[in-house]
A and B are shown apart, each in its own frame.
Chain A
Amino acid sequence: MGIQEQYRTDAANLLDSGAVKLVIGYGEGSTPERRRPIFIRSAEEVGRLVLDANCIANLSAYLVPEGLLSDGKSVAVFLKPDGIRSVNILAAEAQLNPEQVVILGFNIDAGLANPLPGRKANEFAPLLASLKSAGLSTDLQREADRLEQMTAVERFEYWKEQFSKCIKCYACRQVCPMCYCRRCIVDVNQPQWVNTSSHTLGNFEWNIIRAYHLAGRCVACGGCDRACPVNIPLRLLNHRMSKEALDTFDHFAGESADQKPVLATFRQDDPETFIL
């Protein structure tokens, strides 16, 4: 039995037994290679679930709408390792109770989706630890290395050009599991800290604020990058911040559900090289 069949059966059993009230998974999309999130509430519907190498979106973002988990019932969700990390961060930031999240875990390797053993986020701890020790890389590694080689002025020019394309549609924010705030800072207009019009200054403000808000929280699912209609390589920005958090503070986002936010904690042995 393939993984798709197996997880369809698992989902049906979870729903039938009442263990979960909802399964969040992938369904057919608008083109053969596209997948879209679907929400299954009864065992009869599990035939709509699809699981293959095209299932790349991080579905954890669908766990945080207000009220979804407030009845104490559980929800099952299809997650890759990045999504499992997101669940850990959401738990660490008190946005959900990890006990209510049943994980149907998988990873994609050589064009195939493979099952991952475990049902609750904490059961994936050894996997996440091995990911941490493997170190950070991005599928845009060559571009990331090229940016590192640049002078600060060249890099600024690079980002100026990239950000000049931004139309402030906020698709990056909408797709991101970490952007759960009820009111985003960009929507504050008393005072208007972030310029809303799409010119260079406002675009810089928005994209850099978002990068800072994701520091130590981004799991590199690439959702923002794929969502961006003007193809700004947002992964590069987030990758740089993740690298900083890991190298400087040994912080691998979403390693566990009791991880403290890297920018809000202080340890005796934190490097203080910036203090003169």
Chain B
Amino acid sequence: MAKIGVFVCHCGENIASMVDTGKLVTAISGHPGVAFSSEYKYFCSDPGQETVKRAIRENNLTGVVVAACSPRMHEQTFRKACAEAGLNPYMLELANIREQCSWVHTDRIEATDKAIEITRALVEKVKRNNDLQPISVPVTRRAMVIGGGVAGIQAAIDIATAGREVVLVEREPSIGGHMSQISETFPTLDCSQCILTPRMVEAVQHPNIRVMTYAEVEEVDGFIGNFTVKVRSKARYVKMETCTGCGDCIQKCPVKKIPSEFECELGNRTAIYTPFAQAVPNVPVIDRSRCTYFKNGKCAICKKTCQIDSIDFEQEDKTEYIEVGAIVVATGFQVQNTSMYGEYGYGRYKDVITGLHFERLASASGPTAGKIKRPSDGKEPETVVFIQCAGSRDASKGVKYCSKICCMYTAKHAMLYAHKVHHGKSQIFYMDIRAAGKGYDEFTRRAIEEDEAGYIRGRVSKLYEENGKLIVRGVDTLLGKPVEVEADMVVLATAMVPQPDAKEFAQRIGIGYDEYGFFNEAHLKLRPVETSTAGIYLAGACQSPKDIPDSVSQASAAAAKVLGLFSKEQLEREPVVATVSDSTCAGCWGCVIACPYNAIDRKEITDRNGNLIKRVASVNPGLCQGCGTCVSFCRSNSIDLAGFTESQIFAEVMGL
């Protein structure tokens, strides 16, 4: 005989203001099988949980329904309380009368009736619940970090230093990411390369880190603790094992005029190249699409030049399957292409550049060796106009969100310009100055007060070329007057956007993403580095626009999550797994195809002489995630899911 306890939570006012909890308690206490019922302001609080535990012990309850919030919010809390009181934790159900009832209704009487129905349905379900025991699965204590920018490097170093193996996968020929392109960093103006390159070297030399550059993640199979990742190492055509990075091949390569991606096309590279001088690993790659040898079979000067025979034109892509227990996604961002702003003339006028271009101009290792020279004629610009929010916070043409870093880097650009071109004049068109962060507001004040950056609050409406000058027309909204500035160069603070293939990548590895393609965290506030796929974590600007300090903090946070997961050899998994009825399975293998976790195999049933009787589907409980896809697909209704069995769901539905 079932003895069910029902606990109705007020959730402060969240539930009680819209649901008559007293009426709910009265109604449910008369329901068959309900042996105990009570209400309280916060059942999730310590005294609330004590009430539940005491009621279980004193009344020998066989099942518990907490009518409160969503299972996602507090199922674990109350399962634990039940277990502490000696009841199997899977004999608990949460009746969600908050998100699915009080929050979404405005009529108290109707909301109360609905709350009664929801609670009754869960009482009916819990009567049919069974004791379940958690499943233990082994954890592969090796992590993969996807993306070798500053976030990925930081996460890899943190995990590796704690003693766990890490595979760091980067698709470019070198690790370093966008940070290696940046000249100086706000708010301290220390050189980006000087703080990043030691980290890059540390990563590549770390005994626990295996760095795979020029490699792409193609598939992720498995689940938390037990992922199998398919990684394709692209052919470099240079032998990693022997190349010493002397650079002779690069010197001799006759194809010299390829616009360099790293230099934002402000400089050139050769067909065999390293993206930048401090590349890690310092092993060049051959750009197959530009190489003369690959075009017509002639040249091969690099091969002749190389004294240790490290050039190998026969190299092919290599695919590897790597077992890991956790994955940190740190795939970074791109700068938005600003050519959609016709009025700014990006792409039309050579001297209208993006912030990233300016970084290269200001960088000591850049194409101008740190001298500010405008791209069109190499002259030193006397007046530079900076346009903030060139894409960000613009729902009509750009993106709706704030890219977060542009206010700061524009102030930095104005400062660097003032330091390098003493007589230069900078004008910054801005909407707001958003400088929240340690030392940030002080930094922008310094740009204004010490380095005489001229801030004009307003938007630019038009930009055109006249007599070798860029005429920037806009409005000063504080004065309410139109302004016109004759500039030699214009720098657009372009928006940070996700990688162009971010959505497709997210689908491939099975994580969520938002409308732009930034990856979704499990909870914006309370689980900001986890994804909703257990075992996959996020770091850096692939989640949302971030500056370096934020990216690094998040990377360390993700590393802490990974290390927490790796602290035990076994992982306890929920026993919510599917089982197949051998007698009714028709062996159509629809479930095998439908299963997103490859958890279903084909099983042969034989008689005692070993003769095959039939083939049926069989679920591997270690792999099953309990999603129920197979259950809904199975036409003969031969699959059932523990914790959500057909009879439980049916009783729940009929209880409504």
Contact = CB atoms under 8 A, between A and B. Distances in A.
Contact of B650 (A70, A93, A193): A193
Contact of B586 (A70, A180, A265): A180
A183 B637 CA distance: 8
Contact of B594 (A93, A183, A213, A264): A264
Q: How large is the interface on A (under 10, 10 to 19, 20 to 34, 35 or more residues)?
A: 20 to 34
Contact of A185 (B587, B589, B612, B636): B636
Please name the 9 residue pairs, one residue from A and one from B, whose CB atoms are nearest each other, closest first: A191-B650, A264-B594, A181-B636, A93-B588, A183-B584, A185-B637, A264-B593, A181-B586, A264-B590
B647 A191 contact: yes
B294 to A, nearest CB: 30
B646 A94 contact: no
A261 B593 CA distance: 8
A185 B635 contact: yes
Contact of B590 (A93, A183, A184, A193): A93
A184 B647 contact: no
Contacts of A264: 590-591, 593-594, 633
A73 B306 CA distance: 65
Interface in B431-460: none
B584 A95 contact: no
Contacts of B586: 95, 180-182
Interface of A: 66, 70, 93-95, 180-185, 188, 190-191, 193, 213, 260-261, 263-265, 268
Nearest to B581: A183
Contacts of A66: 614
A85 B615 CA distance: 23
Contact of B589 (A70, A93, A268): A93
A228 B418 CA distance: 88
B343 interface: no
Interface string B623-646: 000000000010111100000001
A94 B615 contact: yes
Contacts of B638: 183
Interface residues of B, number: 24
Nearest to B594: A264
B507 A268 contact: yes
Given A94-B587, A191-B647, 10 more contacts: A94-B615, A181-B584, A185-B635, A188-B637, A191-B646, A193-B637, A193-B650, A263-B633, A264-B594, A265-B593
6 contacts: A93-B588, A93-B589, A95-B587, A193-B646, A263-B594, A264-B590
Contacts of B635: 181, 185, 213
B616 to A, nearest CB: 10
B88 to A, nearest CB: 23
Given A94-B588, A94-B615, A265-B593, A183 B636 contact: yes
A66 B586 CA distance: 10
A70 B594 CA distance: 27
Contacts of A182: 583-584, 586, 636
Nearest to A180: B586
Contacts of B633: 263-264
- Contact residues of A: prevailing secondary structure: loop
Nearest to B649: A191
A173 to B, nearest CB: 11
A268 B636 CA distance: 28
Contact of A190 (B588, B589, B615, B647): B647
A263 B588 CA distance: 13
B218 interface: no
Interface in B469-489: none
A182 B586 CA distance: 6
A264 B591 CA distance: 7
B261 interface: no
Contacts of A93: 588-590
Interface in B42-82: none
A71 B586 CA distance: 19
A17 B614 CA distance: 30
Contact of A260 (B583, B587, B593, B651): B593
A190 B645 CA distance: 11
B628 to A, nearest CB: 13
Interface in B502-536: 504, 507
Given A193-B650, A264-B593, A95 B588 contact: yes
A164 to B, nearest CB: 24
Interface string B533-577: 000000000000000000000000000000000000000000000
A193 B631 CA distance: 14
A61 to B, nearest CB: 14
A70 B612 CA distance: 9
Nearest to A186: B637
B444 to A, nearest CB: 40
A183 B646 CA distance: 16
A161 B586 CA distance: 34
B132 to A, nearest CB: 20
Nearest to B612: A70
B71 to A, nearest CB: 22
Contacts of B614: 66
A213 B651 CA distance: 24
Contacts of B646: 188, 190-191, 193
Contact of A268 (B504, B584, B587, B615): B504
A261 B635 CA distance: 12
B32 to A, nearest CB: 18
Contacts of B589: 93-94
A182 B614 CA distance: 12
Nearest to B595: A264
Contacts of A213: 635
B587 to A, nearest CB: 6
A58 to B, nearest CB: 19
B62 to A, nearest CB: 21
Contacts of B584: 181-183
Contacts of B507: 268
A265 B586 CA distance: 19
Contacts of A190: 646-647
A184 B634 CA distance: 11
B618 to A, nearest CB: 14
A182 B583 CA distance: 8
Contacts of A94: 587-589, 615
Given A183-B584, A191-B647, A268-B507, A261 B636 contact: no
A241 to B, nearest CB: 14
A193 B614 CA distance: 27
Contacts of A95: 586-588
Nearest to A64: B586
Interface in B285-325: none
Contacts of B590: 93, 261, 263-264
A210 to B, nearest CB: 10
A95 B594 CA distance: 18
Interface string B594-617: 100000000000000000101100
B656 to A, nearest CB: 14
Nearest to A260: B593
A189 to B, nearest CB: 11
A95 B651 CA distance: 34
A251 to B, nearest CB: 14
A185 B614 CA distance: 20
Contacts of A191: 646-647, 650-651
Given A191-B647, A193-B650, A184 B636 contact: yes
Contacts of B504: 268
A142 B590 CA distance: 34
Contacts of A188: 637, 646
B417 to A, nearest CB: 45
Nearest to B648: A191
A190 B636 CA distance: 13
A260 B511 CA distance: 24
A260 B636 CA distance: 18
Interface string B490-504: 000000000000001
A267 to B, nearest CB: 10
Nearest to B585: A182
A257 to B, nearest CB: 13
